[in-house]
Structure 1
Amino acid sequence: MQKMNTSSKFKDIISESLLIQSGSPSVFQLDTKTEDFGPLTRKTLGKKNLNKANRAVLLVGETGAGKSTVINALVNHTMGVKFEDEVWFQIVEDEKRGQTESQTSDVIVYEIFGFEDQTLPFSLTIIDTPGFGDTRGIEKDLIVSQRLFDLFRSDEGIQEIHAVGLVVKATDNRVNDRLSYVFNSVMSLFGKNLEQSIVALITHSDGRQPKNVLQALEATKIRCAKNEKNQPIYFLFDNSQSDDRSEDTEFIKIATEISERGLRTFTDFLEKKTAQKLMTTTDVLNERISLTACVQNLQERILLIEQKQVELKQTHDALVKQVENMNKSETFTVEVDVVFKEKEPLRSQKIFRQNIFEKAMVCTICEENCHYPGCTLVRRPQHCEVIRKGHCTVCTGKCPASAHVKENWRYVTKTKKVKKTVGVKKEIKTEKGDAEKNFNIVKGLINEIQKLRSEKFQLIDEAYQHVIKLEEIALQVNAGTTLVHLDFLITKMKEKGDTKKVQKLDEMRTQMDEGTKLALQYLWGRVTTV
């Protein structure tokens, strides 16, 4: 790698950039100011002018769709780079340059300042998100919502955007479960107020109308901005701008013109758009995070109840046996499965560049996992998404934040075989006394189980309220991940016997369109594979 000087109009920028490919065009890595705020990253080119307008774009899509290429194209367009300049700039770092962790694993905010009124009348902020459908597992996709929630609620983050670009390959010409899952996951992130700001950015295009992609968007019921023909608004991009031009020059020039036309029309769209506040989207993300944490905790507590029931039955059967053999022995020993909590170390595997995701937020009083996996933003429990008004919304006791810790371990429920000696003291040994003592022991266990059942039903009601809130504010309430929770809640609500709420959940379940069914099919496939 070396630096290179030139007398071109980009001399100053090139002098501060790194040459990564010589030839036609010469490709340079831009030198940006990089800042980490919380688990997020900001890369800034140039200096912000508060008197100039800014447009913010959020890019989402599946892994390999071409988001990085679109970002680089937008930056070059903003800088005024033309085909004949024989130069190309990258702001997204090439993963082949020896990074220990893929840059596309993180939400990164790119800011491009100092080029206002050269090509565009505004500066540009581009938010790049991790790709959906990552082969490394479903947890990677779930953390996208966590990261965006971090970004949108941070004082240093983003509070409004002008457009959401759904990046799709022109070769995605068939509706399948994977594509439906990606579309479904993307739409589940946003509030209803962003519908008219969502557009398709179609990569690897040959310049023709992408009929198959449009049909796929229609088939999966994507709610987005529409044109006068009631078709999704889209913009076309080729991905060849940085390719070597020593051969197939005319072809690459035509391909570049496709992208330049797409860039002009997309930035014209941006200029006319009114910024949309992200408060509703932040609420959607918060409700989804809370719903997931609530259901995860509920499942663990149900396991505890079931194991307690086993312990109750074993003790009950032993007491019955004692009564039957009262004349033979004053005491006897019985082996029961006793339930207990244990701290289990978390795996040391990094999910992203920082280890922050590997910690669980747990309650030390209730001995419960209140938020794991997914507690992402800060190292202190009071800032966790499930803490509201200073108290946890998940654990049994709704304990204060001060009772919680973020650690590299989590609570797990286990059982162990324990021998118990049951007997009656001689001085009080009467048939009536034994019966009363045995009855009181069983009654105490039954009361404990009833208390646990009441707590379980309370948590089911809380999870139900999260779903209802999502129905009110979310652009896509029936996301695949939500429907997984919905099936679970329907089953548990039936156990509770609340027919009215069961009916409401069933209605939401039956409203699932074909695209969501395919997404759910893909989601279950990945879960069972893992």
Structure 2
Amino acid sequence: MAEFNIEDFLKTRHRRNSLCSEVSCASDQSHDHPLNFKRDGNKPVGKRSHHDATLINPGPPRLYQLNTERTHIDGTDKKVRRWTYGRRDRNKQNKVILLVGESGAGKTTMINTMVNYLLGVKFEDKEFHQITEEEKPEAQSQSLTSEITVYEVFVEENPTSLTIIDTPGYGDSEGFSREREISDDLGRLFSDEDFHYIDAVCFVMKASQNRLTGKEHYIFQSVLTLFGKDIEDNIVFIITHSDGGSPTDALNAINTAQIPCRRDERDKPVHFLFNNQQEEQRAQAHRSSWEMGENSMEKFLKLLLENNRKKPLMNVDALKEHKKLEARVFNLMDRITEKEFKIKELTEILKAIGQNRDKIEKSQNFEFSVNKTVKRKVLIEETLLLVLNKEATCCKVCEENCHQHGCWWVPLKRLSKCDVMKYGRCTVCTGRCPQEEHIKENRKYVMKTTKVNMSFDELKQEYESTRGRAETSFDKTKVEEHLKSDLEKVKAEKSILLHEAYKLIMKLSKNLIKADWYFTAEHLDFFIPRLEEEGKYKEVRDLRDVRRTLEDWANRFSEQSWIAQGRQYLSDNLLSWNLTDVVSLSVEGVVNTVEWTGQALSNLFTRRPPF
């Protein structure tokens, strides 16, 4: 593969710009009158671009849509789109960058700005090309723009090509379920042979942004999970809506959040400034802003020149193993719960026998009530947190849930692709049954109890059938012995399952995916008290240490989000409040009060803020 040379690239771009300038000037002189803008069906016709593009707005500036080949990445269930412009020359260096950022930060404009730089578009051309395409409002509301889009830009004249991975924007009103989906999709994307490395992670944020949300932390941790701590030298910031000055607010937010990233010789986060006005009509006053963007792009490409690309720390096999371990823990939770139901049922029966022992001695029949345990299949309820887990893979033989969480992307006819399947067999269910014995649907197994009345004779007959021989009148105490034996057996089985779960969780914790903290916390909340009941104090200490680590992350997410909401609410509403109790307090004092004593707001203001 040819080595990428930034000097060659810049020289090529300068020569192409000079040629385009001559053509552009000649074209501009021949169009003193407005462009004749016609349509043939949905295809606009007007001044032709020097590139493979379609005019969609005569401007000024003229807006072109690049003609791209649109497909999906294999193995992602059409959750990752692939839009390709031009033809790839594998003798040329290809740089892969990942863009993340909140909705409204300006990612779309930045993608198009990068593409226009590669195309050689300059200020005098009075044109702008876009590779992105806005969704219609109705389509956007249905999909929530949850797809990752990979834009591949292959410009024949350039010695390098660019692959831009665009993650969906995310809003404050949405839960973490969408970010979990993005995290899963990124893992599958970087398992593809064409995307097994990354050159830069670009976090897009406005110059005025003064805080990072929990969701932004989440996406960062997903990237760190995939590529490891070394990726921080590849993390840079794209500062949008900039006036050219130092983005103090944004840099302070980055430092406050302690985001691992590349830093310059002054220990400041490496960042590049853009004003996001490239698509607007160009006056001479806008030239400096355009040149600021060009200078930033030149510096950014020089950074990409470094041989600093990173490969995923967790390959597809490691990610699948992590999912498999997680699925086994959830399965063990179900099986332990089933054992507990059985323990309760046997205990109730033994209590009834103890209360009627005199009747048993006299061979008298008697009736009693007991909560019998039955296993049923029920519809999976969709919740905000588990919106993607509307289907589960279940074993019809063992009657167990083998994969409940994160199995949304595997179609029924391709269960071999499910994370818990290996060599055609399930690695989770008790019988390790063949995949053909499994089904994927919007139902799962749950344990239910129903109160039933039964007689001692019925109980005795039940044990006679299971033991294969009849109990004689001289063996009337054998039923109780069998019950006690069964009870001890179930308790021992529960202990074995608890220990197995403990080992799995500790194995998971060695490669802890911080972005999955809410699932792992659920595991720990279930197992810690049960291990404590059995006197497994070492195991309890270990799990509490893991829990403490996860709580720190959870608190950090919520604290960042809560403080930011408090600041914003104060900024928006402070002047409209009745400040009878805080006349002597400064605005900054109120802000500090919000940050450190949230509950005090109800005492400070006669109208309580809604957070």
Instruction: Name the TM-score class by shorter chain.
Output: 0.7 to 0.9
Q: Does 1:198 align with 2:235?
A: yes
2:269 to 219, 223, 232: 232
Residue identity opposite 2:234 in structure 1: S
Report SS of the residue matched to 1:419: strand
Whole-Å Cα distance in 2 between the matches of residues 372 and 468 of structure 1? Answer: 23
Q: Which runs of 5+ in 2 are unaligned?
A: 1-38, 462-469, 564-611
Deviation (angstroms), 1:508: 5.0
Report SS of the residue matched to 1:342: strand
Deviation (angstroms), 1:124: 0.8
Q: Tell me the alpha carbon deviations over residues 394-450 of structure 1, each in whole angstroms, 9 at most, x when there is no partner.
A: 43444454443333332233233333332258x9665x6222212212321331242
Report SS of the residue matched to 2:136: helix
Bigger CA drift: 51-60 or 181-190? Answer: 181-190
Residue identity opposite 1:27 in structure 2: L
Q: Tell me the alpha carbon deviations over residues 102-122 of structure 1, each in whole angstroms, 9 at most, x when there is no partner.
A: 4731122211113442xxx31
Q: Does 1:259 align with 2:297?
A: no
2:119 to 79, 92, 95: 79
Q: 1:371 matched to which residue of 2? A: 403
Q: Tell me the alpha carbon deviations over residues 190-249 of structure 1, each in whole angstroms, 9 at most, x when there is no partner.
A: 323423222222223332222332232223232222222333222223222223x27xx4
Whole-Å Cα distance in 2 between the matches of residues 185 and 493 of structure 1? Answer: 31
Identity %, equivalent residues: 34
Matches within 5 A, 1:126-137: 126-132=164-170, 135-137=173-175
Q: 1:410 matched to which residue of 2? A: 444
Sort the Cα spacing of 1:398 and 1:460 in 2 relative to 1 into closer, same or farther, 3 A.
farther
Q: 1:434 matched to which residue of 2? A: 476
Residue identity opposite 1:363 in structure 2: C
Q: TM-score of the superposition, structure 1-length normalised?
A: 0.82
Q: Does 1:54 align with 2:98?
A: no
Report SS of the residue matched to 1:28: strand
Q: 2:393 matched to which residue of 1? A: 361
Report SS of the residue matched to 2:169: coil
Q: Which has the higher contact order (CA 8 A, sep 6+)?
A: 1
Deviation (angstroms), 1:483: 6.3
Q: 1:334 matched to which residue of 2? A: 368
Residue identity opposite 2:52 in structure 1: I
Q: Does 1:458 align with 2:497?
A: no
Sort the Cα spacing of 1:234 and 1:481 in 2 relative to 1 into closer, same or farther, 3 A.
farther
Deviation (angstroms), 1:177: 4.9
Q: 1:528 matched to which residue of 2? A: none
Q: 1:140 matched to which residue of 2? A: 178
Report SS of the residue matched to 1:442: helix
Whole-Å Cα distance in 2 between the matches of residues 301 and 521 of structure 1? Answer: 36
Deviation (angstroms), 1:173: 0.6
Q: 1:68 matched to which residue of 2? A: 108
On the 8 A contact 2:71/2:81 being kept in 1, the answer is yes
Aligned residues: 504
Q: Does 1:27 align with 2:67?
A: no
CA RMSD for the aligned pairs? 3.7
Report SS of the residue matched to 1:373: coil
Bigger CA drift: 357-366 or 43-52? Answer: 357-366
Whole-Å Cα distance in 2 between the matches of residues 483 and 85 of structure 1? Answer: 55
Whole-Å Cα distance in 2 between the matches of residues 461 and 58 of structure 1? Answer: 35
Sort the Cα spacing of 1:68 and 1:267 in 2 relative to 1 into closer, same or farther, 3 A.
same
On the 8 A contact 2:150/2:166 being kept in 1, the answer is yes
Whole-Å Cα distance in 1 between the matches of residues 482 and 151 of structure 2? Answer: 67
Whole-Å Cα distance in 2 between the matches of residues 161 and 443 of structure 1? Answer: 59
Whole-Å Cα distance in 1 between the matches of residues 170 and 132 of structure 2? Answer: 18
Q: Does 1:518 align with 2:556?
A: yes
Residue identity opposite 1:111 in structure 2: E
Sort the Cα spacing of 1:262 and 1:367 in 2 relative to 1 into closer, same or farther, 3 A.
farther
Bigger CA drift: 276-285 or 406-415? Answer: 276-285
Deviation (angstroms), 1:189: 4.4
Deviation (angstroms), 1:357: 6.9
Q: Does 1:216 align with 2:257?
A: no
